């Protein structure tokens, strides 16, 4: 029996590791210096894998600096455009043509900001798709492992929760919050050119902030509550099972009961290993886009501050307000990642009442 | 540097000349004003080309200078348009001056059209 359960557990674990190694999740490769998941497993089996933190740290910092470096041309272009716009703003005393020069310049600056900003938000959207794909592959084996270690109630309760997170939450973020962020960004940039959209900008911003706040509070609350309730039920059912075995089977009842405990403990270790690996994979999927968003946000902030030094008009303010929307997109992505971390943490923590 | 001295010297001399000519022959005074304006613009051409070349050299450092070129073009068009409009106003042709300004505005709008189109393409992201 023990061998059969172990065989099933190992088969399921190996199945999702192999599926994960097919290159579906490219984000993790950017911080992982040891190759694909398949290569890591080969390295472990052959004993050639040297796991040291310095390689990972080097890759992590090189990812941050390469992202910042790739943003430098945009910063320089924006600052140069800001300089020329400042000159055009000084031409305003000449009449209407100066005004139209500033308006045209601001329109170009708006497109300059919008192009990379939309790319960053689209990348955040594709990261959410990757998380959905990962959850589709990861949840069936981890739920089986969870059930095999005696946490049937937790498995039953958390399985619909995972569907809820991967469909409802991710759909709300990718189909509502991200488009709202892009719209807000567009309206902010337009309001920089024509100062009549101030009210709409504020409305879209507060709508985005409230949606993100409500959705994440609701989901984290539901998951935490489900985890607490189901773990109590699991503990009771395992104790009941052990008592039933030891009291109903004559002579060898207690031995069988202890053997069952051993099997459940083995499955528990496997489930924990799977859960922790899930957290690491999720970190790998989310880290690169999050760093990209963070670097882009800081690049825009720095540009805005430099532009404010020489610009009399609101060009610096346009860039500064745009950065706020990039921050909102980053917060939404980070929120989804945090919800998944809590969820996987619950899976790792549950099923230990043997 | 030298061109600034040349421009200032020519402008001050021209102003004196215009003041004197205005009393005896106003039509010559207007001609001097127009010639002075053309001289100032031609003197600045070298500097304007230098500025344009400087921003164009940004592409050598991997920076997309197309945006900058567009902003500089718009600024220069407005500058030249305003200059022409000013001369027409000096001559007393307010109607032509207004038309020049309108032409400049239309040109700037046409230059901005590709960027407006690019902005509209972001709508597809919202779908």
For A42-85, the pLDDT digits (tens) are 777 777 766 666 766 777 777 777 777 777 888 888 888 888 78
Using CA atoms, how far apart are residues B104 and A105, in angstroms rounded to an integer? 14
CB contact under 8 A, B58 and A77: yes
Which whole number is the average pLDDT over B101-114?
Answer: 88
Contacts of B67 (CB under 8 A, 6+ apart): A77, A81, A108, A109, A111, A112
CB contact under 8 A, B125 and A80: no
In this predicted structure, what is the pLDDT of residue A23? 46
Which whole number is the average pLDDT over A330-342?
Answer: 89
Q: Could you say which of B67, B82, B108 has the minimum Cβ distance to residue A81?
A: B67
- Average pLDDT of chain A to the nearest whole number: 77
Q: What is the pTM of this model?
A: 0.75
Q: Could you say which of A87, A94, A104 has the minimum Cβ distance to residue B112?
A: A104
Which chain B residue shows the shortest CA-CA distance from A180? Answer: B126
Using CA atoms, how far apart are residues A56 and B34, in angstroms rounded to an integer? 70
A161-165, A207-211, A251-255, A261-265 — most confident range: A207-211
A37 vs A158: which has the higher pLDDT: A158
The minimum CA-CA distance between A171 and chain B, rounded to whole Å, is 13
Which chain A residue shows the shortest CA-CA distance from B98? Answer: A96
Contacts of B94 in chain A (CB under 8 A): none
| For residue A226, pLDDT beyond 80 | no
Does B55 touch chain A if contact means CB atoms closer than 8 Å? yes
Does B33 touch chain A if contact means CB atoms closer than 8 Å? no
ipTM, 2 dp: 0.73
CB contact under 8 A, B71 and A182: no
In this predicted structure, what is the pLDDT of residue A21? 44
For A266-306, the pLDDT digits (tens) are 777 888 888 888 888 888 888 888 988 998 998 889 888 88
**Is the separation of the CB atoms in A343 and A162 below 8 Å?**
yes
| For residue A13, pLDDT beyond 60 | no
In this predicted structure, what is the pLDDT of residue A35? 61
In this predicted structure, what is the pLDDT of residue A55? 67
The minimum CA-CA distance between A340 and chain B, rounded to whole Å, is 26
- Average pLDDT of chain B to the nearest whole number: 82
Does B126 touch chain A if contact means CB atoms closer than 8 Å? yes
Q: Which residues of A touch B (CB under 8 A)?
A: 73, 76-77, 80-81, 84-85, 87-88, 91, 94-98, 100-101, 103-105, 107-112, 114-115, 118, 121-122, 179, 182-183, 186
Which whole number is the average pLDDT over A224-250?
Answer: 72
In this predicted structure, what is the pLDDT of residue A232? 67
SS (H, E, C) chain B: CHHHHHHHHHHHHHHHHHHHHHHHCHHHHHHHHHHHHHHHHHHHHHHHHHHHHHHHHHHHHCCCCHHHHHHHHHHHHHHHHHHHHHHHHHHCCHHHHHHHHHHHHHHHHHHHHHHHHHHHHCHHHHC
Q: What are the backbone dihedrals phi and psi of residue B62, each rounded to the nearest 5 degrees, phi first?
A: 80, 15
For A93-136, the pLDDT digits (tens) are 566 777 788 888 888 888 888 888 888 998 898 898 888 888 88
| For residue B115, pLDDT beyond 70 | yes
| For residue A29, pLDDT beyond 60 | no
For B10-49, the pLDDT digits (tens) are 888 888 888 888 888 888 888 888 888 888 888 888 887 8
Q: Could you say which of A108, A183, A186 has the minimum Cβ distance to residue B67?
A: A108
Nearest partner of A295 among A322, A337, A330, judged by Cα: A330
In this predicted structure, what is the pLDDT of residue A330? 92
A323 vs A250: which has the higher pLDDT: A323
Q: Could you say which of B75, B85, B119 has the minimum Cβ distance to residue A87?
A: B75
Percent of chain A at pLDDT > 90 equals: 5
The minimum CA-CA distance between A349 and chain B, rounded to whole Å, is 39
Contacts of A112 in chain B (CB under 8 A): 67
Does B78 touch chain A if contact means CB atoms closer than 8 Å? yes
At A210, the pLDDT band (50, 70, 90 cuts) reads: very high
CB contact under 8 A, B101 and A179: no
Which chain B residue shows the shortest CA-CA distance from A106? Answer: B71
For B55-76, the pLDDT digits (tens) are 777 777 767 777 778 888 888 8
A85, A99, A101: best to mutate for the B interface, most B CBs within 10 A: A101
Nearest partner of A187 among A179, A198, A178, judged by Cα: A198
Percent of chain A at pLDDT > 70 equals: 80
CB contact under 8 A, B71 and A81: yes
Which whole number is the average pLDDT over A22-51?
Answer: 61
Using CA atoms, how far apart are residues A250 and A254, in angstroms rounded to an integer? 9
A158 vs A178: which has the higher pLDDT: A178
At A332, the pLDDT band (50, 70, 90 cuts) reads: very high
In this predicted structure, what is the pLDDT of residue A231? 66
Using CA atoms, how far apart are residues B53 and A313, in angstroms rounded to an integer? 26
Using CA atoms, how far apart are residues A329 and A244, in angstroms rounded to an integer? 53
SS (H, E, C) chain A: CHHHHHHHHHHHHHHHHHHHCCCCCHHHHHCCCCCCHHHHHHHHHHCCCCCCHHHHHHHHHHHHHHHHHHHHHHHHHHHHHHHHHHHHHHHHHHCHHHHHHHHHHHHHHHHHHHHHHHHHHHHHHHHHHHHHHHHHHHHHHHHHHHHHCCCHHHHHHHHHHHHHHHHHHHHHHHHHHHHHHHHHHHHHHHHHHCCCCHHHHHHHHHHHHHHHHHHHHHHHHHHHHHHHHHHHHHHHHHHHHHHHHHHHCCCCHHHHHHHHHHHHHHHHHHHHHHHHHHHHHHHHHHHHHHHHHHHHHHHHHHHHHHHHHHCCCCHHHHHHHHHHHHHHHHHHHHHHHHHHHHHHHHHHHCCCCC
Which whole number is the average pLDDT over A144-156?
Answer: 77
**Is the separation of the CB atoms in A211 and A172 below 8 Å?**
yes
| For residue B86, pLDDT beyond 80 | yes
């Amino acid at each position: 029996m023990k061998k059969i359960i172990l065989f099933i557990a190992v088969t399921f674990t190996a199945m999702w590791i192999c599926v994960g190694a097919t290159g579906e999740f490219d984000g993790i490769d950017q911080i992982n210096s040891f190759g694909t998941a398949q290569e890591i497993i080969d390295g472990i089996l052959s004993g050639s894998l040297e796991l040291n933190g310095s390689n990972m740290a080097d890759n992590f910092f090189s990812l941050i600096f390469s992202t910042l470096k790739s943003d430098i041309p945009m910063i320089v272009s924006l600052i140069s455009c800001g300089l020329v716009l400042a000159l055009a703003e000084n031409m305003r005393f000449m009449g209407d043509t100066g005004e139209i020069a500033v308006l045209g310049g601001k329109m170009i600056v708006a497109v300059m900001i919008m192009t990379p900003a939309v790319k960053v938000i689209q990348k955040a959207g594709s990261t959410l798709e990757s998380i959905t794909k990962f959850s589709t592959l990861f949840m069936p084996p981890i739920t089986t492992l969870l059930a095999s270690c005696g946490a049937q109630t937790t498995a039953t309760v958390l399985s619909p929760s995972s569907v809820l997170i991967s469909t409802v939450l991710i759909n709300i973020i990718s189909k509502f919050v991200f488009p709202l962020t892009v719209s807000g960004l567009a309206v902010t940039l337009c309001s920089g050119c024509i100062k009549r959209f101030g009210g709409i900008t504020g409305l879209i911003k507060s709508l985005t902030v409230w949606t993100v706040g409500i959705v994440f509070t609701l989901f984290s609350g539901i998951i935490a509550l489900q985890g607490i309730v189901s773990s109590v039920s699991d503990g009771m059912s395992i104790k009941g099972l052990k008592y039933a075995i030891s009291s109903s089977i004559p002579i060898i009842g207690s031995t069988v009961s202890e053997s069952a405990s051993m099997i459940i403990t083995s499955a528990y270790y496997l489930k924990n290993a799977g859960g922790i690996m899930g957290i690491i994979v999720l970190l790998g999927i989310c880290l690169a886009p999050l760093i990209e968003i963070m670097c882009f946000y800081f690049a825009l902030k720095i540009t805005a501050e430099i532009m404010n030094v020489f610009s009399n008009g609101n060009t610096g303010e346009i860039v500064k307000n745009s950065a706020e929307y990039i921050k909102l997109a980053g917060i939404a992505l980070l929120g989804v990642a945090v919800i998944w971390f809590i969820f996987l943490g619950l899976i790792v923590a549950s099923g230990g009442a043997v | 540097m030298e061109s600034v001295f040349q421009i200032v010297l020519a402008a001050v001399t021209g102003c004196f000349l215009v003041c004197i000519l205005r009393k005896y022959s106003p039509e010559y005074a207007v001609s001097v004003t127009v010639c002075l304006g053309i001289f100032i613009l031609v003197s600045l051409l070298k500097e304007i080309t230098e500025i344009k070349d400087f921003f164009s050299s940004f592409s050598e450092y991997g920076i997309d200078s197309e945006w900058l070129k567009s902003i500089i073009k718009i600024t220069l068009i407005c500058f030249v348009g305003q200059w022409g409009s000013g001369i027409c106003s000096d001559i007393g042709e307010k109607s032509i001056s207004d038309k020049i300004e309108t032409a400049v505005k239309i040109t700037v709008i046409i230059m901005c059209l590709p960027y407006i189109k690019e902005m509209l393409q972001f709508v597809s992201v919202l779908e």
